[in-house]
Amino acid sequence: HSAETPAPDPAAGAAVKAADRAHVFHSWSAQGLIDPLPIAGGEGSYFWDYEGNRYLDFASQLVNTNIGHQHPKVVAAIQEQAGRMCTMAPGFAVDVRAEAARLIAERTPGDLDKIFFTNGGAEAVEHAVRMARVHTGRPKILSTYRSYHGATGAAINITGDARRWPSDNGTAGVVHFFGPHAYRSHFYAETEEQECERALAHLEETIAFEGPQTVAAVVLETVVGTAGILVPPPGYLAGVREICDRHGIVFVLDEVMAGFGRTGAWFAADHFDVVPDLITFAKGVNSGYVPLGGVAISGAVAATFDQRPYPGGLTYSGHPLACASAVATINAMAEEGIVEHAAHIGENVIGPALREIAERHPSVGEVRGMGVFWALDLVKDRATREPLVPYNASGAANAPMAAFAAACKRGGVWPFVNMNRTHVVPPCTVTEAEAKEGLAVLDAALNEADAHTVDAAGA
């Protein structure tokens, strides 16, 4: 890493914290119980606080800084664009907007060649759902329980995991079903093949009982992200494609997290040889340097809105600063071989190291993932696969995961922890040396988790 960590300045950090606590209302938090860490800056795979502590970003913030912090080409492109044109409404043709759309369309599978830009992932999901409903004239959206699709109206309703509960109005025309998850099989499957077959039969039956003529879309994360890094078994997504085709249902793949290099491909769909009707994206498209998301749209769905207006829009759709940063990000990723690097580091460094670490830690139930998109599923007991902490645990019930996270941070690694899992999701640009440094810290921190297993209790 080239950046020098600036000299510690605890007084400046304290001032930032005081200002934050006075007026900033944070996402997903009890405002009176949180203690946000003041951050002074970042570069590449690292960021740092005002006390002189550097953290290796094994979370890529919220799994979005795929090219790391402060990539010079992207920073320069934003500065250049700001000097030229900061804002222009979506009704006008703008060079960087057209170029960003072209670069994205060039990389999407099949004929998903039209791009609707949003400000982030949830809005992309909102619009994908609306496109599917208008295109089919049907109301219902099917999605999986183990999923996250965003925190806005339709997006939080189709989200399957516990983040939905406080906002679920129960009337949004959403039906949840179980996707494949061999390690915690809902279907009592013993092999991946069986899991795939039974998961497809379950979806088919769900559609049959809902009434196929009422189902607008099936929405899936290509590889499930925050709800567990679930890589679908071979044949599953192709099977869903076939079911959707048979019933005239729009197939939406949510690649907000999985897209733009995270899995070692431009789109995760590339690994599974499947072409959906719509792809939602955000995060990695420009590593979050400026808020941006969007929907890639197939020819058939786009045709619905050729002679009649699409009923939706956003003041900042295709925002020039965001589009300029996407153009620079995609070009940098292509020029620097960043997607190939993510595939290489996953296959040759992170995956093998995690499997080796798992052998030494009784708390690791399963290792799964690809690219720079991995999870350790932590358990109390490998035999029963009982999760290390209960589903949606908080407070004292979550103490083992909190202790694990604290140990990572003391070791200089910022971890991604969700329920009973830790995800290993560094930037796609993470070097082999950085990955090894972070994995060593994770390895040691797992002793905290091991202490809560039945093996420890029996010892």
Q: For binding to ligand PMP (CB under 6 A), which residues are involved?
A: 62, 120-122, 125, 148-150, 221, 225-226, 254, 256-257, 282, 293
- In whole angstroms, the minimum distance from the beta carbon of 142 to ligand PMP comes to 16
- In whole angstroms, the minimum distance from the beta carbon of 284 to ligand PMP comes to 11
The pair of three-digit structure tokens given for residue 52, joined into one six-digit string: 């002189």
The rounded distance, in Å, linking the Cα atoms of 351 and 23 is 42
**128 with 118: CB under 8 angstroms?**
no
The rounded distance, in Å, linking the Cα atoms of 256 and 22 is 32
Closer residue to ligand PMP, CB minimum distance, 45 or 286: 286
CB nearest ligand PMP: which residue? 121
Any bridge partners for residue 224, and if so which?
230
Closer residue to ligand PMP, CB minimum distance, 149 or 319: 149
Closer residue to ligand PMP, CB minimum distance, 136 or 280: 280
Closer residue to ligand PMP, CB minimum distance, 60 or 363: 60
- Quickly list DSSP for 29-63: S-TTT--PPPEEEEEBTEEEETTS-EEEETTHHHH
- In whole angstroms, the minimum distance from the beta carbon of 221 to ligand PMP comes to 5
Strand order in the sheet with 293-297: 114-118, 293-297, 278-281, 250-254, 215-221, 140-144, 174-177
Alpha carbon separation from 143 to 104, 158, 219 (Å, rounded): 25, 6, 5
**253 with 207: CB under 8 angstroms?**
no
Closer residue to ligand PMP, CB minimum distance, 94 or 156: 156
The rounded distance, in Å, linking the Cα atoms of 322 and 88 is 11
- In whole angstroms, the minimum distance from the beta carbon of 224 to ligand PMP comes to 8
- In whole angstroms, the minimum distance from the beta carbon of 237 to ligand PMP comes to 15
The rounded distance, in Å, linking the Cα atoms of 263 and 343 is 7
- In whole angstroms, the minimum distance from the beta carbon of 64 to ligand PMP comes to 8
- The CA-to-CA distance between both ends of the chain, in Å, stands at 42
CA angle 310, 278, 100 (to 5 degrees): 80
Closer residue to ligand PMP, CB minimum distance, 255 or 366: 255
Closer residue to ligand PMP, CB minimum distance, 46 or 373: 373
The pair of three-digit structure tokens given for residue 438, joined into one six-digit string: 């972070």
**Which residues, other chains included, contact 113 with Cβ-Cβ below 8 Å and sequence gap of 6+?**
105, 296, 297, 298, 299, 302
Closer residue to ligand PMP, CB minimum distance, 226 or 317: 226
Closer residue to ligand PMP, CB minimum distance, 150 or 235: 150
Quick one: the chain helix, strand, coil %, rounded to 5?
Answer: 45, 15, 40
- In whole angstroms, the minimum distance from the beta carbon of 359 to ligand PMP comes to 30
Closer residue to ligand PMP, CB minimum distance, 24 or 93: 24
- In whole angstroms, the minimum distance from the beta carbon of 141 to ligand PMP comes to 14
- In whole angstroms, the minimum distance from the beta carbon of 5 to ligand PMP comes to 28
Phi, then psi, of 272 in degrees rounded to 5? -115, 5
- In whole angstroms, the minimum distance from the beta carbon of 118 to ligand PMP comes to 9
